[in-house]
Amino acid sequence: MEFDWDIFAPLFAHTLTFWWVIIPAIFLGLVVGAIPGFSAANTIIILLPLTLAMDVEVGLIFMVALYCSSRMGAGIPAILVNIPGTAGAAATPLDGYPMTRAGKGQQALAISFVSSTAGGLLTTIVALLAMPWLAQVAFYLHSVEMIVVMLFGISLIATIAARDTLKGLIAGFLGLMIGAIGADAVYATPRATFGFLELYDGVPLIPALVGLFAVSEAFLVIEGETILSGKGQDLMRKAGWAETMEGVRAALSRWWHIVWTSLIGLVIGVVPGAGASIAAFVAYQQSRTFSKTPELYGTGHIEGLVAPESANNGVTSGTLIPLLVIGIPGGATAAIMLVVLQYHGVTVGPELFIENPELAYGVFTAMAVTYALMILTILPLSRYMSRVTMVSTTYMAPLIIAFTLVGSFVPREYLFDMYLAFAFGVLGYIARKTGYHTAAILIGVILGPLLEQYFLRAMKMSQGDLTVLFSSSLANILWVLLILSVGFPYALEYRRKRLKERE
């Protein structure tokens, strides 16, 4: 399967003629992504009769545009009000929200939009050119390798613990224990469910996500007049178009950071089931590890916002590669696209690129066009979106709680999930008040169950032999990189202290 350059230019021009489908899908995706609990997957399911009634090409373009824009939309509430729209945006508030509180919400949104579109556009082009090789990643990254990849993300707990070792580790292990709730993956024995049938599938992610971040934040902002600091309010009142351009320049000046973090997202996205949350946490951890100013992360650092936003948009093109090349959907949205393709009688796999190359390559061309149109349509809105932060907490806090509780109800339609989100909100509020980091808890809740699944799968295949974790050359390379990644900040800090002592 080789890329045919002759069809690219006319295919790109042909895709542009579908702007009337792409632009409405972009705005719909932004709204969907910004509402906690909603996602591209469940929105496409709702609109499935519509997509099935469309021509297969129009339907795919619509779904791709909605998928890409919803990924960007999830970062908007994460930055402005500390509410990640999806798990893929869970790392975005770590530095995005502190920027907003300092009165730089407009710049933060601009940085997010530029990073998202640049990362998404770059990885789409790379995916288009390197598809035959990227498709092989799914064959090389097995359970053993994915265990190490998960540990890259979980090692963020250690990074957070570096500020307050005891509290950081307690928060991280609490998250891992919460993530272990539910029926175990081997014997389906219930663990810590306390008799609640709703917990047998594990702790639902959206209630945990919105509770720890959004509801707890609503409890905190009630204590003040606005979510902005005094200086932040002055900055927001004076903000104009110059602040948007300041954010654009800040993001573009870190172009290399966008490149390598988005490529992390692309590679992780190719692995079926890996997802944007893993990519975002891994990219954030790697960004902090190799930064010259790691102490600035978590305080509103630009690179701490660029990394997760570039990575989670890099995932979008990655998830479609295994779908089109080997017929295995890389995520929930890709699985729904497979349903649409099968309904129209399209067979995915290598034959698709031979029999219908316009449709196969057209998916990625549509993604590239979507990102190009997205930056033109969304970037000017950052000035007006950021004004949300000026709303008084008298109105903001109840709205946040109402939206997040409804959002926690949507995925499973259980009233229990709304109570669960409120309980996580109380837990998050207590954690914040006592100096524990809610991000460390969330990392454990998100990545803990995934790590357990891959670990048990590896143990089952090896019949309980732990040495299987070191049986792969690629896994061993990843182990070495993980050790270097975790040890590098400490070595760098030690070197800095020695240099200061010599001075």
- In angstroms, the CA 486 to CA 158 distance is 8
For the residues of 436-448, what is the DSSP string, one character each?
--HHHHHHHHHHH
pLDDT tier at 192, thresholds 50, 70, 90 = confident
| Per-residue pLDDT at 293 exceeds 70 | yes
Range from 21-35, 161-175, 186-200 that averages highest in pLDDT: 21-35
Question: Which of 49-58, 75-84, 343-352, 465-474 comes out lowest in average pLDDT?
Answer: 343-352
Element (H, E) at 182: strand 182-183
Q: Give dist(CA 133, CA 135) in Å, integer.
A: 5
Q: pLDDT band at residue 424, thresholds of 50, 70 and 90? A: very high
Closest CA to 383 of 241, 227, 479: 241
Rounded to an integer, the average pLDDT of 223-230 is 69
Residue 489 has pLDDT above 80, yes or no: no
Q: Is the pLDDT of residue 4 over 60?
A: no
- DSSP letter assigned to residue 29: H
Could you tell me how far CA 68 lies from the centroid of its own chain? 12
Rounded distance, CA 59 to CA 105, Å?
35
CA distance linking residue 22 with residue 407, whole number of Å: 26
Average pLDDT rounded to a whole number, residues 22-43: 83
8-13: long-range contacts, CB 8 A cutoff, minimum separation 24: 8/361, 8/365, 11/358, 11/361, 11/362, 11/365, 12/365, 12/368, 12/369
Mean pLDDT confidence for 430-451: 86
Count of C-beta atoms within a 10 Å radius of residue 13: 11
Q: Label residue 432 by pLDDT band (50, 70, 90).
A: confident
pLDDT at 16 over 80: yes
Cα 236 from chain centre: 27
DSSP structural state of residue 191: E
pLDDT reading at 161 higher than 70:
no
- Is the model's pLDDT at 206 over the cut of 90? no
Q: What confidence category does residue 254 fall into, taking pLDDT thresholds of 50, 70 and 90?
A: very high
Q: Read out DSSP for 289-315?
A: HT-S-GGGTTSS-HHHHHHHHHHHHHH
pLDDT in tens, 379-410: 888 878 887 777 777 777 888 888 788 878 87
Q: Pick from 4-8, 225-229, 317-321 the range whose average pLDDT is largest.
A: 317-321
Residue 163, pLDDT score: 66
Residue 482: band (very low, low, confident or very high) from pLDDT cuts 50, 70, 90: confident
pLDDT of amino acid 138: 63
Inter-residue contact 311 to 115 (CB < 8 Å): no
- Enumerate the domain spans of the chain: 5-391+398-502
The band of 149, judged by pLDDT with boundaries at 50, 70 and 90, is confident
Residue 178: pLDDT over 60:
yes
Cβ distance 318 to 265 under 8 Å?
A: yes
pLDDT averaged over every residue in the chain: 84
CA distance 168 to 176: 12
- Closest by CA to 304, choosing from 277, 329, 327, 285, is 285
What confidence category does residue 355 fall into, taking pLDDT thresholds of 50, 70 and 90? confident
pLDDT at 309 over 80: yes
Separation of alpha carbons 102 and 229, rounded Å: 6
Is it the case that residue 298 has pLDDT exceeding 80?
A: yes
- pLDDT for position 303: 94
Residue 232 pLDDT > 70: no
pLDDT of 162 higher than 70: no
CA distances to 76, 117, 314, 356 from 122, rounded to whole Å, are: 21, 8, 8, 24
Q: What share of the chain has pLDDT > 90, as a percent?
A: 20
